[in-house]
């Protein structure tokens, strides 16, 4: 068994999905945690300090490479698996009742993931690109909180962000417990616990993320 053989096998590819999935789950905790500093309602002072640390500290910059590597691996592998899975059934059923045996969100990870990818393109162009431009041009410190207020002042942007967060919820709701099954953990005592933690996690993360554009748009915080 060569490394290539392992990582191109069906289970090896599932392993990549599950492993990077858990990695991204951990990243979201940091992301939601730092962004929640806006709820301190101190005109974004704490939030901007945190953002400055994240974009200037070399350890964080280094970890960022890992984050993008994990994200890209998850996206490429996910898309390629989805296309391969489609090929495994060249002729579709004329009459199929999938709702009798599985949940819609578990069957829609490809579509939910694609929605998230589109969301990410928008999200990175809103916040990531400007931060980097400011970092390297370096005229004055970048006020990320100001940028948030500007972006979320537009109603349709807030709506698109909410669509993104809802997609994220269903993606996490299935993905969290699915990742553990993929890594080989299915246990009478632990699996129900994993499912509960996954549900609570997905709810907390998504409520926090949904509140950010809404709170800023409605000027609950400024």
φ, ψ dihedrals at 135, nearest 5°: -65, -45
C-alpha 28/C-alpha 197 separation (Å) is 15
Neighbouring residues of 212: CB distance < 8 A, sequence distance ≥ 6 = 35, 38, 148, 152
C-alpha 61/C-alpha 77 separation (Å) is 24
Name the residue nearer to other proteins (CB basis): 92 or 139.
92
C-alpha 37/C-alpha 20 separation (Å) is 26
Q: Report the nearest approach of other proteins to the CB of residue 6 (Å).
A: 5
Tokens coding 165: 């967060």
Q: Report the nearest approach of other proteins to the CB of residue 100 (Å).
A: 6
C-alpha 66/C-alpha 61 separation (Å) is 9
Q: Report the nearest approach of other proteins to the CB of residue 192 (Å).
A: 13
Q: Report the nearest approach of other proteins to the CB of residue 196 (Å).
A: 17
Name the residue nearer to other proteins (CB basis): 7 or 53.
7
**How many CA atoms within 13 Å lie on the side-chain side of 22?**
13
> By the criterion CB under 8 A, which residues form the site for other proteins?
1-2, 6, 9-15, 81, 84-85, 87-98, 100-103, 106-107, 109, 174, 177-178, 181-186
Q: Report the nearest approach of other proteins to the CB of residue 106 (Å).
A: 4
Helical axes 155-182 vs 190-217, angle rounded to 10°: 170
Q: Report the nearest approach of other proteins to the CB of residue 3 (Å).
A: 10
Name the residue nearer to other proteins (CB basis): 94 or 156.
94
Name the residue nearer to other proteins (CB basis): 4 or 140.
4
Name the residue nearer to other proteins (CB basis): 78 or 213.
78
C-alpha 10/C-alpha 63 separation (Å) is 28
For residue 96, give the 3-state DSSP assignment.
coil
C-alpha 173/C-alpha 159 separation (Å) is 21
Name the residue nearer to other proteins (CB basis): 37 or 202.
202
């Amino acid at each position: 068994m060569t490394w290539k053989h392992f990582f191109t096998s069906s289970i090896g590819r599932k392993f990549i999905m599950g492993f990077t999935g858990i990695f991204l789950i951990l990243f979201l905790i940091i992301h939601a945690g730092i962004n929640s500093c806006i709820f301190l309602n101190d005109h974004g002072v704490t939030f901007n300090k945190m953002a400055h640390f994240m974009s200037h500290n070399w350890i964080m910059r280094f970890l960022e490479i890992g984050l993008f590597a994990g994200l890209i691996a998850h996206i490429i592998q996910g898309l390629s698996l989805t296309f391969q899975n489609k090929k495994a059934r060249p002729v579709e059923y004329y009459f199929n009742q999938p709702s009798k045996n599985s949940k819609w969100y578990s069957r829609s990870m490809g579509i939910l993931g694609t929605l998230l990818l589109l969301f990410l393109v928008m999200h990175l162009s809103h916040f990531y690109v400007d931060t980097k431009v400011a970092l390297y041009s370096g005229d004055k410190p970048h006020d990320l909180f100001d940028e948030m207020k500007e972006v979320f002042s537009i109603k349709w942007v807030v709506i698109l962000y909410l669509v993104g967060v809802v997609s994220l919820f269903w993606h996490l709701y299935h993905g969290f417990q699915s990742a553990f099954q993929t890594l080989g953990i299915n246990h009478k005592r632990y699996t129900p616990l994993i499912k509960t933690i996954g549900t609570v996690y997905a709810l907390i993360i998504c409520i926090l993320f949904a509140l950010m554009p809404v709170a800023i748009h409605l000027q609950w915080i400024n």
